[in-house]
Chain A
Amino acid sequence: KQEVTQIPAALSVPEGENLVLNCSFTDSAIYNLQWFRQDPGKGLTSLLLIQSSQREQTSGRLNASLDKSSGRSTLYIAASQPGDSATYLCAPKTGANNLFFGTGTRLTVIP
């Protein structure tokens, strides 16, 4: 069964700093990997999806990379803002029916 680990569990940074969130997974036979953000008491918002054949995806200040063979993905956030404060979740898709989630990294950006 796929196991997903996200490090660190919590991160606090001053506004404007660049930061990297890490995700590792045990089964490298994935279809894709998706990054989400979750605000308190809310659902998940999709940020980026990287297909298994891709190395990275970019959207605005966000850049996600994927190293499938080593079972790692990173989410890079440039010039962080207080509005980026949320929990960030990664989810590799293994098989047709399942997206496996980590427990997330809780990010706080201090004004």
Chain B
Amino acid sequence: ETGVTQTPRHLVMGMTNKKSLKCEQHLGHNAMYWYKQSAKKPLELMFVYNFKEQTENNSVPSRFSPECPNSSHLFLHLHTLQPEDSALYLCASSQDNYASNSPLHFGNGTRLTVT
């Protein structure tokens, strides 16, 4: 049972749709992350929130819009996506972003397919 829960597990959407991915952590952590994992490529960091403040936007296109209403919840709002955005989207959390001994804990991801 993971302490980081992502919903939905699978999502198929057309290029004109708007959808949202949800992440919730039950670990009392203060930092939350969105990563993208495409086939045969390393995980790419997308966004980082530390104590609800966005501290990193890794040159992500504006069709991806994150939201962090509190330290336990993180959303990724999607609109007008492209087929190349199809990937596994992973949420992670850690105690905070600056501690050197704070491991990342990942959810099981949302498998997104854009048609």
* A interface residues with partner B (beta carbon < 8 Å): 4, 31-32, 34, 36, 41-46, 49, 51-52, 89, 91, 93, 96-103
Give the residue of B4, B92, B97, B104 whose beta carbon is less than 8 angstroms from that of A96.
B97
Verify A44–B90 contact, CB threshold 8 A. Answer: yes
B105 at the interface (CB under 8 A from A): yes
Give the residue of B48, B100, B111 whose beta carbon is less than 8 angstroms from that of A51.
B100
Verify A97–B43 contact, CB threshold 8 A. Answer: no
Closest Cβ of chain A: how far from B105's Cβ, in Å?
A: 6
Verify A46–B104 contact, CB threshold 8 A. Answer: yes
13 contacts between A and B (CB under 8 A): A31-B100, A32-B100, A32-B101, A34-B104, A41-B109, A43-B106, A43-B107, A44-B90, A44-B92, A46-B105, A93-B100, A103-B40, A103-B41
B61 at the interface (CB under 8 A from A): no
Complex CA gap A51/B100 in Å reads 6
* B interface residues with partner A (beta carbon < 8 Å): 2, 4, 6, 40-43, 45, 48, 55-56, 88, 90, 92, 97-98, 100-101, 103-109, 111
Which A residues are CB-close (under 8 A) to B6?
43
Give the residue of A32, A46, A97 whose beta carbon is less than 8 angstroms from that of B56.
A97
In the complex, the chain B residue whose C-beta lies closest to that of A45 is B106
Complex CA gap A32/B108 in Å reads 23
In the complex, the chain A residue whose C-beta lies closest to that of B105 is A46
Knowing that A41-B88, A46-B103, A98-B56 are A-B contacts, what are 4 other residue pairs whose CB atoms are under 8 Å apart, sorted by A's residue number? A4-B42, A32-B100, A91-B104, A97-B56
Verify B108–A49 contact, CB threshold 8 A. Answer: no
Which A residues are CB-close (under 8 A) to B92?
44
| Chain B CB within 10 A, most for which of A32, A43, A93, A99 | A43
Verify A43–B90 contact, CB threshold 8 A. Answer: yes
Closest Cβ of chain B: how far from A98's Cβ, in Å?
A: 6
Which A residues are CB-close (under 8 A) to B106?
36, 43-46
